[in-house]
Amino acid sequence: MKQKDLSETIGSLERQLSLPPGFLLDLRKEDDWSFIIKAHAFLEAVLSHVLAEASGKRELEGVLSRLEMSDTAKGKLAFAQALGVLEEDERRFIKRLSELRNMLVHNISNVGFNMSKYVNQLDSNQRTSFVEAFKYALDPEDKGFQRLIGTDVRGRVLKDPQGAIFMGVVLITLALCDKKEVAQREEKRIAKMKTLVERLRGMYAKRQTEHSKEAAPQS
C-alpha cells in the first residue's frame, strides 16, 4: 500500500462514517495521551454500532455502548467474538489498546504520557507482548507494506508505536465496516425471505378458502 493509497483509503473511510475530512489523520497530530484516548473512543463507538447491526437489533446500540470494551467475558469483545465481527488478532489489539487507555485515564499524572518512553521502560516480555498486540496492521507478507515500512515489523512498532496503533485502528475500522455491510445485506435478505413467506402463506390461505367454497354442498 503506497502512501497515496493509504490517504485515499482513510479519506474514503471518513466519508463512509460521515466524519469531517481529515479527522483520522488529525489523530496523528495529537500528543500521545490524547491520541490513545481519542483513538480508543473512536474505535469503541464504531464497534458498538457494528455489534448492533450484526445482532439485527439496532435499538441495542445504546445498551452495547455502555458495556466495558475489553472484557472478554461480558464486554464488547465478548459480543464481538460471539457474533463473529472481530478476528483473534483484532480482539488482541483492542484489548491491549483498552488496557493502555485505562492506565492513562485513571491517573491524572499520565497526561504527559510519552509512548516511546513507555515502551523503552518495558521489560523484554512486556515489549514482546506490546509488539504482538500492535503489529496487527504491519503485515510483513504484504509487499506494499514492505515498501512502505520495511520488513522489520518489531522494530517499526517499537520505533513508532503511535503509527502502528493508528494503522491498526484504521484497518480494524475498515474490517468492521465490511462486516456492517455484510450484516445489512443479510438483514435485507432475511426481510425479503420473510416477505416472500408471508405472501406464500397468503396465497395458500386464499387457495384453501377457494377450495373449501368449491367443496361446500350446494343448497
Contact between 135 and 92 under an 8 Å Cβ cutoff? The reply is no
Phi, psi for residue 77 in degrees, rounded to 5: -65, -30
213 belongs to a structural domain: no
- Report residue 2's pLDDT band, with 50, 70 and 90 as the boundaries: very low
Q: Which domain holds residue 160?
A: 3-183
204 belongs to a structural domain: no
- Report residue 166's pLDDT band, with 50, 70 and 90 as the boundaries: very high
**Calculated CA dihedral for residues 176, 178, 181, 187, nearest 10 degrees:** -70
63 belongs to a structural domain: yes
Contact between 174 and 9 under an 8 Å Cβ cutoff? The reply is yes
Grid cell of 175 as nine digits? 474490517
Mean pLDDT of the chain: 80
3-state secondary structure of 210: helix
Total structural domains in the chain? 1
| Distance of alpha carbon 99 from alpha carbon 70, whole angstroms | 8
Q: What is the arithmetic mean of pLDDT over 29-47?
A: 93
pLDDT at 207 over 60: yes
Q: What contacts 146, CB < 8 A, 6 or more positions away?
A: 140
Least confident of 98-102, 157-161, 177-181: 177-181
112 belongs to a structural domain: yes
**Which residue in this structure is represented by grid cell 516480555?**
125
217 belongs to a structural domain: no
Residues 9-46 as b or e (16 or more Cβ within 10 Å = b): ebeebbeeeeeeeeebeebeeeebbebbbbbbebbbeb
For residue 208, the number of C-alpha atoms closer than 13 Å in the C-beta half-sphere is 6
pLDDT at 184 over 60: no
25 belongs to a structural domain: yes
Model confidence, pTM: 0.74
177 belongs to a structural domain: yes
pLDDT at 26 over 80: yes
DSSP string computed for 15-60? HHTTPPTTHHHHHTTS-HHHHHHHHHHHHHHHHHHHHHHHHT-GGG
188 belongs to a structural domain: no
| Distance of alpha carbon 167 from alpha carbon 10, whole angstroms | 10
Grid cell of 25 as nine digits? 489523520
